[in-house]
Structure 1
Amino acid sequence: MNQSTSDAHILVSMTYASRANPDVSAKDFNEILKQAQTNNAANGITGMLIFNRNYFLQTIEGPRAKINRLLYSLIADQRHHDLQLLGSRELKHREWAKWSMNYASPSEANAAVYLKYSTTVDFNPYLLSAEAAHNLMHDLGAQKQ
């Protein structure tokens, strides 16, 4: 059995934070989201993305080899920088199976959820532990279902 065949059976989750480049517009972000949804669906990747004008926080899950390849392309993407891996783990089952890429942004309606996991009122994923990031995305995802 070759490496990629065996990796196809190992399901992983990876969470990262990054800083949006200042020239990323709302139109650019909508294109990022559509592209992620299309590419992820084709590659068996699911996940959750949080974005405000300054930061991305994303969890992606899928076959280990596909997640590793996606990580390399994310690092090379010029629309964001300072990518920091917050956590990575093997999964028994997907948490975001319904979503090729679910999305949430900070709003008045969900401000209490952000405050629950953050030390500040402003959303800054670099200040979150891996567990807090996971729980934040889980709570926001539950609101959208």
Structure 2
Amino acid sequence: MTNTTLEPHILVSMTYVSRANPDMSAEEFSAILQQAQENNTVNAITGMLIFNNNYFLQTIEGSRAQINHLLDALIADQRHYDLQLIETRELRCREWSRWAMNYASPTKENAALYLKYSTTVNFNPYLLSAESVRGLMSELSQ
């Protein structure tokens, strides 16, 4: 991915959900997370990722050009499938400016949050609205 952060672009946010390839190991996920953090730092992309071995739920923010480049790469990535956009929107300012990629994992301790934002305590991001995703991510990041 080329670094186009010096070009003027509108700041945007994109949220998507996808299913993890069933063959993905914990080591492979750790490598993905580390690589994402490194690439995002270089490309001025920030965001939040929730992963539970079955689903990826991610919000990324940056220049429109960078987010579009990243979307192309995500669509081509064989480590996940059934990618669906939940929301894209323009931003006045970043919501995840402290993190190249903040990460949270669903646990028994935070199951009540899933019930707060969905109809079940089981994490299934395909059932969440864009507004629910924003609330859930905000609370998990605290």
Bin of the TM-score, shorter chain as denominator length: over 0.9
Deviation at 1:44, TM superposition (A): 0.2
Task: Give the counterpart letter for 2:68 in structure 1.
Answer: N
Contact persistence 2:13–2:91 (CA under 8 A): yes
Instruction: For residue 108 of structure 1, give the secondary structure of its aligned residue in structure 2.
Output: coil
Give the TM-score taking structure 1 as reference length: 0.92
Task: Give the counterpart letter for 2:85 in structure 1.
Answer: L
Number of residues of Structure 1 aligned to a counterpart in Structure 2 = 139
- Given the alignment of the two structures, is residue 98 of structure 1 paired with residue 91 of structure 2, yes or no? no
Contact persistence 2:5–2:66 (CA under 8 A): no
The CA distance in 2 between the partners of 1:27 and 1:116, in whole Å, is 31
Q: Spell out the pairing of 1:1-145 with structure 2 (5 A cutoff).
A: 8-142=8-142
Deviation at 1:7, TM superposition (A): 6.5
For residues 22-52 of structure 1, give each alpha carbon's deviation from its aligned partner in whole angstroms, at most 9, with x where no partner exists: 0011111101100100000000000000000
Contact persistence 2:17–2:84 (CA under 8 A): yes
Deviation at 1:113, TM superposition (A): 1.3
Which runs of 5 or more structure 1 residues have no equivalent in the other structure? none
What is the root-mean-square deviation in Å for CA atoms of aligned residues?
1.5
Contact persistence 2:118–2:128 (CA under 8 A): yes
The CA distance in 1 between the partners of 2:66 and 2:23, in whole Å, is 29
Task: Give the counterpart letter for 1:32 in structure 2.
Answer: I
Which runs of 5 or more structure 2 residues have no equivalent in the other structure? none
Contact persistence 1:7–1:64 (CA under 8 A): no
**Percent identity (aligned):** 69
Taking a change above 3 Å as real, the CA distance of residues 80 and 131 of structure 1, as seen in their structure-2 partners, is: same
